[in-house]
Amino acid sequence: MNTIMKTILLLSIALLFLTCDKDDSTYLVNKIDVIIKNSEDYNYDLNISGDEEGAVIKVQAKHFQISELIRNSSTNWNVVYQYQPEANYVGADYIEIEACTGGQGVNCTNTEIVRINFTITD
């Protein structure tokens, strides 16, 4: 009987931890597929402009000349991702950006991973 009670207690604790994870709206994944020539540039406006909002590159692209987030007067203070593939590179590449939006005060309320998959052609 003691073993059954211990098993039930352990299962109850495990179930409690499984049901206490983050809110589903906190961590979404947005996947974008892009086909570009190796001589082209690509810009993606994340539509993030609030003071408390921002973005960081979580997984950097592998085959790039330029791969960066820009936020200045030229982007009207929106966060814009800029990508230019390596010269003469043909193949696949990708980047993952963590975007933080909906800030109230000093913290954002929504975190989203944006994954951009590149197919680079001649």
- Alpha-carbon gap, residue 11 to 88, rounded angstroms: 57
Please report, for the chain, the start and end positions of each structural domain, with discontinuous segments joined by +.
26-121
β-strand partners of 59? 96
Per-residue tens of pLDDT for the chain, all 122 residues = 677 766 676 666 665 555 444 444 446 589 999 999 999 999 999 999 888 899 999 999 999 999 999 999 999 999 999 999 999 999 999 999 999 987 666 677 888 999 999 999 99
Cα–Cα distances in angstroms (integers) from residue 19 to residues 24, 26, 38, 54, 114, in the given order = 12, 15, 46, 29, 26
Fold topology of 26-121: Immunoglobulin-like (2.60.40)
> Which pLDDT does position 87 carry in this prediction?
93
pLDDT at res. 15? 56
Sole residue written with tokens 């960081």: 56
Return the residue matching tokens 């790039």: 64
Write down the residue that tokens 């993606």 correspond to.
44
Query: Would you state the pLDDT for residue 9?
Result: 61
